[in-house]
Structure 1
Amino acid sequence: MNLKPNCFVLFLVAIFFLMGNCTNYSTTASVQAPPTLISITNNGNSNFTIKVRAQNPEFIFQGYRLYQAATESLAQNPTDTNLGTDCILAQAAIVQPVEYTFEVDPSTNANTVGVSCRIFATLTPGSYISMRTLGLAVNLQNSTSSYRVSLPSNALIVP
């Protein structure tokens, strides 16, 4: 009698049983680390380059949201955190801090070589910008999902 196939079937039954009866999951949302803005450069023609240092080790990481306002406080703490401009990055298992290069441009041109993501927005010189990390939030009770934003980054003045 060969016990290996029987043990494998028993193992699968145990896994399905445990998965079906598991009710101990966390309802606390995961907290994403905010990015650090390093610099912003005006490239001309309403085109800006932003250097960002960030660490995004979690699988729920989706990208970043850029905010612009007249004051540093409003850029970091907008009245509605859904009103920023998103940059969704390709999923990657990043554990170490990474330096990203973002291009902010209102045109629909393709990314410049070396740019991590293009943010389709218009920045106003003299205004302030900040960013937040986007994480995927899934509500298991009603099967909906949305983005959850991190705390704000530092703010920079648009040159």
Structure 2
Amino acid sequence: MNIALFLPRLLLAGFVIFSFGCTNYSTTASVQAPPTLISITNNGNSNFTLKVRAQNPEFIFQGYRLYSGATETLAQNPPDLNAGDACLLAQATIVQPIEYTFEIDPSTNANTAGVSCRIFSTLTPGTYIAMRTLGLSVNLQNSSSSFKVSIPSNALIVP
């Protein structure tokens, strides 16, 4: 059988089965892997370079959120998980193990060459930073969506 003719039929059959007879689906949110912070360098003028190693092959992967706090615990477990500064990498649907370079800078300058993403944030030397992975969470019952965050990364002290 010609694969070009078989594939549309297979997709249609799968859609019909899923739409009308599939009751075995999960309502449990997917767990995203947290990134590992490798190093942070002060570039002067409130500009920092952050090296991060991450692996997020999930389809729902969206990017990362940076948190800062006076202590390691506050950076890793902020009172509001929406309060951090996000770096959305939606153009990369599937991300394999990679080392990212982020720029953390309050200005709206363009990314420096070789930088994966710019996080618009102001950091204070001596504070702690941590990151969490952002995944897309869709609620089919009320047609809403939001970000689901991972467990926290390790923490680093801002130089």
The TM-score normalised by the length of structure 2 is 0.90
Corresponding residue for 2:3? none
Quick one: which amino acid aligns to residue 104 of structure 1? I
Q: How has the CA–CA distance of structure 1 residues 134 and 24 changed in structure 2, closer, same or farther, with 3 Å as cutoff?
A: same
What stretches of structure 1 move > 6 A for 4+ residues in a row? 7-10
Structure 2 residue aligned with 1:88: 88
In the TM superposition, what whole-angstrom CA distance separates every residue of 1:107-130 from its partner, at most 9, and x where no partner exists? 000100000000000000000000
1:23 aligned partner: 23
Counterpart code for 1:24: N
Q: Give the whole-Å Cα distance in 1 for the aligned partners of 2:153 and 2:7.
A: 50
Equivalent residue for 2:67?
Answer: 67
Q: Any idea what SS the aligned residue of 1:18 has?
A: helix
Find the residue that maps to 1:83 and give its secondary structure: coil
- CA shift, 1:10, in A, is 7.1
Q: 1:40 to 1:25 in 2, by over 3 A?
A: same
CA distance in 2, matches of 1:106, 1:15: 48
Distance change >3 Å, CA 11–CA 48, structure 1 → 2: closer
| Post-superposition CA distance 1:43-68 (Å, at most 9, x none) | 00000000000001011000000000
Q: Give, in whole Å, the separation in 2 of the partners of 1:20 and 1:108.
A: 46
Residue identity opposite 1:125 in structure 2: P
Paired residues, number: 153
The one-letter amino acid of 1:111's match is N
Gaps of 5+ in 1: 1-6
Partner of 2:51: helix, strand, or coil? strand
Change (3 A) 1:138 1:114: same
Distance 1:157 1:20, change over 3 A: same
Distance 1:9 1:152, change over 3 A: closer
Opposite residue 92 of structure 2, the aligned amino acid is: Q
- Name the residue aligned to 2:149: 149
Query: What is the match of residue 158 of structure 1?
Result: 158
**Cα RMSD over matched residues?**
2.0
CA distance in 1, matches of 2:141, 2:129: 36
Q: Which has the larger Rg?
A: 1
Which residue does the alignment assign to 2:128?
A: 128
Partner secondary structure for residue 82 of structure 1: coil
Identity of aligned residues (%): 74
2:56 is paired with a residue whose SS is coil
Deviation at 1:12, TM superposition (A): 6.7
